[in-house]
With several copies, the nearest count.
Chain A
Amino acid sequence: MALYHDDDQAMLADSASQFMAEEGSIAKQLRHWRDRECKDGFGHALWKQFGEMGFAGMMVAEDDGGLGMGNVEAGIVLEEIGRNLTPSPFLTSSVMAGTALGHASADLKERWMPGLVSGEQVYAVALDEGPKHRPESIATRAERSGNGFRLSGTKDFVVHGASADMIIVAARTSGSDSDENGVTLFAVPRDSGGMSQDAVRLVDSSVATHLKLDGVELDGDAVIGEVDGGREVLNRMLQAGRVGAAAESVGVARGAMDLTVDYLKQRKQFGRLIGEFQALQHRAAHLYSEVEIARAAVLKAQQLLDAGSEQADLMVSVAKAKAGRTAGLAVREGVQMHGGIGMTDEYDIGLYMKRDRALSEFMGDAYYHAGRVAQLSGY
């Protein structure tokens, strides 16, 4: 498979680009909802448009009413989301929950897929159990209780948890915290008794929750996949989430870079456009090089993942780490090259910096994934 978008993918990119620039722009969405202190951190109307466009259910199998597309296609939408800083539950709902639900029973699919495909429902995932992403260790417990389970524990960084109709929770049904086996995934409806959430606004104006499971009773049919055998589905969900976040990071990097390069062509100092100064030229060219490398790494990881390759896991971590570091460079250079106005809320470049910070942290930061690269490479 050639390492560039095929014709269908290029068409999708065109339509996603146009849609996001028109409907998902910073002015229309991020600033709009932020300035209204929206409790969701995104607009439900736009999310329904995602449904109408076919984006919301793009990764859902055709049999289940979706478009049956892969990580490459989802990444195309995510890159545009990143460029426009469009707030939406696409990554947690369509990509992560969508991937997990693909492995669920027919009943569960019937219950949750239609709302996802239409963009009428929002799903979240509850994985982290501390301020850093460490999904190797899961302490949240799910004990057998009658025909079902009783969940207890706490989860952090549940993005869109406050708006979610259903939250996928990874819990331990056997073994000790860091065991590979003994993990089970649950689809937990929002109104489940014993579940409470403490919503916090994040630096990028999105809303996440600290989630508490205090003996949440669930039927056995809330289990996604196999009891005790949830690690594999969890890994797939993680991979999709990571490479998706990486794609969005590439979008953030591109958006920040484009803003900055434009600024270099407009701002004058000492009687010259600042883009004429060689030191800034070299830094901009270096940034461009990094962005191109990150894009290629993300696309490679998406293709490997869609092809079910064994190398996918390694490349997903490469992509997440590289995209995060590149977006970090892009926003830092962006703010610095904008000078004073880069520090003002009025200009958009600072919004890129904020989004990058949250996104880089989501599903493991560059340090975590570099460590994984080392581990997977045997050192």
Chain B
Amino acid sequence: MADLEQFRSETRSWLEANCPEEMRQPVHDEKDVYWGGRNASFKSEAQKQWFEACVEKGYTVPAWPKEYGGGGLSAAEAKILREEMGRINARPPLSSFGIWMLGPALLKFGTEEQKKHYLTEIARGEIRWCQGYSEPGSGSDLVSMQTFGEDAGDHWVVNGQKIWTSYADKADWIFCLVRTDKENKYQGISFLLFDMESEGVSTRPIKLISGNSPFCETFMDDVKVPKDQIVGEVNRGWDVAKYLLGHEREMISATGGGDRATSLGAAMNRQGELDPVLRAEMALFDVDALAFTAMSEKFMDELKAGKGHPAQPNTMKYAGTELNKKRHELIMAAGGSRSLEWDSEETDGGKPARSWLRTKANSIEGGTSEIMLNVVAKRILELPGA
């Protein structure tokens, strides 16, 4: 305990010295987030300074081992760092799918060589990763994927198409599920890594209803992938994918609660008196939202303690995303005609409407609500049948 208190005071001093004032403000838009990668540029000197200070301490990935560019912090220390960063509203120095997704998979399934190489790149923000899971024909039914990697001796030749690859047009490398055995459904998939600049890779952004294009279609046309660019064993990529999907749901569950933690009605910027029926709907929503916040906290506490049912993240993801959609429906209702505006200055370019539309993906991406309910029915309630 004494050690932890010392760590806290050291952390506080270090943050005081290294986190610029400008980096102690909420993230307003996409540009305030530094994603790293080959083509990255800093938005400001302060952003650069803060990133570099963190890289030096390993604080872009505080809990990863030091030898892979991490901070080597214990869980308790990492929590203190989070708390102290939260206290001063410090922005994350680096965001990336490498940190959130590939990293955890490599830590569990990667070879020592891979960890050294890829994790360090991620920690230092050198390579920006994207994810190649879904295909047009395989949404919830992920395992029906068709993208095929043909064995060509020392490499695979990959052909196919991925969809919903986040920021594929800006990413340097992709981690990608590829079928390497057409006979075996689950045990015929491999988890491959390759450079997006490889010959035969092309991307096309997908325009969403929110007007943004954070996702791409990615096409692979005779792409050569060396045999050592695989995580886990050949044809056992589904294990890696499942682990990552679980991790993703856990992450969505654990971190998605940001703005759900507060009372909607209290947080809302209202003009005039609230319609009494809308007020009642908000009150009933706030009961749900505040109760869910307690469940988030309980979930995190149980996770740390190794308690709780392993399928619980599915419940969390279901309830959390459905609530978030409803929250934004109510925000739109409270905002009235003003919140309908699509590109006005007063709405900061249609933020309420675009955010509202964005939330509709919450219950689709990372496993639909329907899939979550299936899993809860089967694995927690142990209901019979297919």
Contacts and interface: CB of A to CB of B under 8 A. Distances in A.
Direct contact of A and B (CB under 8 A): yes
Contact of A374 (B140, B279, B372): B279
Contacts of A357: 332, 340, 353, 356
A335 to B, nearest CB: 5
A295 to B, nearest CB: 8
A286 B370 contact: no
Contacts of B298: 3-4, 296, 299-300
Interface string B303-321: 0110100001001001100
Contact of B275 (A201, A273, A371): A371
A364 B313 CA distance: 32
Contacts of A294: 291
B287 A370 contact: yes
A201 B380 CA distance: 39
Interface string B348-386: 001001001100110111001110111011101111111
A293 B370 CA distance: 19
B277 A371 contact: yes
Given A131-B336, A201-B343, A379-B266, A344 B207 contact: yes
Contact residues on B (Cβ < 8 Å of other chain), bracket: 35 or more
Contacts of A297: 290-291, 294-295
B383 A378 contact: no
Q: Which 6 A-B pairs have the closest CB atoms?
A: A276-B385, A131-B336, A350-B209, A297-B291, A157-B337, A281-B377
19 contacts: A132-B337, A269-B141, A281-B374, A285-B380, A289-B376, A296-B294, A297-B291, A301-B294, A314-B290, A318-B291, A339-B139, A339-B364, A353-B357, A361-B336, A361-B340, A368-B275, A374-B265, A379-B270, A379-B282
Interface of A: 2-4, 128, 130-134, 156-157, 200-205, 208, 261, 264-265, 268-273, 275-282, 284-286, 288-290, 292-294, 296-297, 299-301, 314-315, 317-319, 321-322, 325, 328, 332, 335-336, 339-340, 342-346, 350-351, 353-354, 357-358, 361, 365-371, 373-374, 377-379
Interface of B: 134, 137-141, 144, 163-164, 206-209, 211, 263, 265-266, 268, 270-272, 274-284, 286-288, 290-292, 294-295, 297-299, 301-302, 304-305, 307, 312, 315, 318-319, 325, 329, 332-333, 335-344, 350, 353, 356-357, 360-361, 363-365, 368-370, 372-374, 376-378, 380-386
